[in-house]
């Protein structure tokens, strides 16, 4: 897969009624994962045809709020983001790393195979492409090679979708990750709706994308089609409801380690970990060992969160016993120390952590609040505050 923008392949137009041929061409060689409506939300799942896509649905999102509504048209990608990110298929929520069985007084230990399906991801937004790029740096970087992630990531065919309308909690424009994808895809779709015919502008990002497009009925796009697609994404950028000013954030967060604002946030935070579960870049895990009386054992890696008390257990207890310290760890790592470790922030501006926080805590509000918060200290063992000695 090429990630270089401006690949030498001409863009094309595909009619709505021919999009099924694209999905069929993907399914001939890949397990296709795409958005579909289930249980009152838009989730990512294996799909067997274009009919599975959420035609005519949109999502209404705000802090701690998500619901689906019917649109006045039959747009296939007229929503923004559901609770699932593509991380779920690359960095599995649960993966058995090895298993053992007692035989003749000894243990036969075998590593679990890293084999994985050949995936095609259909409907990847620009912020999510950025999220996958961040995971690549974390899990495939020097000294951090994860064979299970590599097996699932290798060979993924990416069909991106350009955002033409932002969600209620989006702030990708201020993070430089959207709303327009300019690379990291094999094909990228921009959906055209009334008053134009229902069509898709298809941009080609790799030879594999060009080869697949050859199997789909299409015609060459005109310059006005490209201008219209650009105008749609520029309109989404202008309409984005939130922004995060990253200027000096790293230094500011390091200077506010003991600020009283952490305790104020902790008064609302439930430490449920929703924000880390829906985040496209959070990668923390723990391991579970299971045994039975028949002499079998399994060593399994599962998602974990810095919001759980056991995650920071060292020696006699947790080093982050208070909710204030756990929220501080999450936000400071996401926007400061992540850059020190991996050369990029851990946030891509998708807004999921805002939508799916039951308390409606919004990091685009917390950063400005921290900038102006009084410089007072939080006691390490709870969320009470005391004035810093002069």
Segment 303-322 mean pLDDT: 92
The whole-number pLDDT of residue 364 equals: 98
Band of pLDDT at residue 2, cut at 50, 70 and 90: very low
With a pLDDT cut of 90, the percent of the chain lying above it is 88
Q: Mean pLDDT for the chain? A: 93
Distance CA 55, CA 324 (A): 42
- Pairing status of strand 119-124 against strand 187-192: unpaired
Give the start-to-end residue ranges of the domains of the chain: 12-238, 249-386
Segment 251-278 mean pLDDT: 96
The whole-number pLDDT of residue 377 equals: 61
Spell out a b/e string for 120-159, using b for 16 or more CB atoms within 10 Å of the CB, else e.
bbbbbbbbbbbbbbbbbbbbeeeeeebebbeebbeebbbb
At a CB cut-off of 8 Å and minimum separation 6, what does 221 contact? 10, 11, 12, 13, 201, 202
Band of pLDDT at residue 105, cut at 50, 70 and 90: confident
Segment 36-43 mean pLDDT: 97
Distance CA 241, CA 146 (A): 37
Please write the tens of the pLDDT for every residue from 42-69: 999 999 999 999 999 999 999 999 999 9
User: Is the omega angle on the peptide bond into residue 179 within 30 degrees of 0, that is, cis?
Assistant: yes
At a CB cut-off of 8 Å and minimum separation 6, what does 251 contact? none
Distance CA 163, CA 172 (A): 11
Segment 168-197 mean pLDDT: 97
Whether the model clears a pTM of 0.95, i.e. scores above it, the answer is: no
The whole-number pLDDT of residue 144 equals: 84
């Amino acid at each position: 897969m090429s990630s270089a923008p401006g690949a030498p392949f001409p863009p094309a137009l595909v009619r709505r009624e021919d999009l099924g041929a694209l999905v069929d061409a993907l399914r001939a060689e890949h397990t296709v994962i795409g958005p579909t409506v289930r249980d009152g939300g838009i989730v990512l799942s294996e799909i067997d045809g274009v009919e599975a896509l959420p035609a005519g649905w949109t999502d209404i999102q705000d802090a701690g709020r998500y619901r689906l509504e019917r649109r006045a048209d039959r747009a296939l990608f007229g929503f923004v983001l559901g609770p699932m990110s593509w991380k779920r298929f690359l960095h599995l929520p649960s993966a058995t790393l090895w298993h053992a069985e007692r035989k003749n007084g000894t243990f036969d230990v075998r590593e679990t195979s890293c084999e994985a399906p050949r995936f095609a991801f259909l409907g990847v937004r620009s912020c999510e492409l950025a999220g996958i790029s961040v995971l690549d740096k974390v899990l495939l970087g020097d000294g951090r090679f994860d064979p299970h992630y590599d097996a699932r990531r290798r060979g993924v065919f990416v069909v991106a979708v350009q955002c033409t309308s932002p969600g209620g909690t989006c702030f990708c424009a201020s993070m430089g990750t959207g709303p327009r994808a300019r690379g990291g895809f094999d094909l990228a779709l921009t959906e055209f709706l009334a008053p134009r015919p229902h069509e898709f502008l298809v941009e080609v990002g790799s030879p594999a994308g060009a080869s697949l497009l050859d199997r789909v009925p299409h015609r060459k796009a005109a310059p006005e089609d490209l201008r219209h697609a650009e105008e749609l994404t520029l309109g989404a950028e202008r309409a984005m409801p939130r922004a995060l000013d990253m200027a000096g954030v790293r230094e500011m967060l390091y200077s506010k380690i003991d600020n009283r604002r952490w305790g104020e946030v902790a008064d609302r935070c439930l430490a449920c970990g929703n924000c880390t579960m829906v985040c496209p870049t959070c990668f923390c895990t723990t391991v579970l060992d299971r045994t039975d009386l028949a002499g079998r054992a399994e060593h399994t890696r599962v998602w974990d969160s810095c919001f759980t008390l056991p995650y920071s257990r060292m020696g006699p207890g947790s080093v982050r016993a208070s909710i204030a310290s756990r929220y501080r760890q999450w936000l400071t790592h996401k926007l400061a120390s992540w850059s020190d470790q991996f050369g990029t922030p851990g946030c891509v501006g998708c807004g999921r952590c805002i939508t799916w926080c039951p308390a409606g805590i919004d990091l685009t509000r917390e950063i400005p609040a921290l900038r102006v918060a009084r410089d007072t200290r939080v006691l390490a063992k709870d969320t009470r505050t005391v004035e810093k000695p002069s």
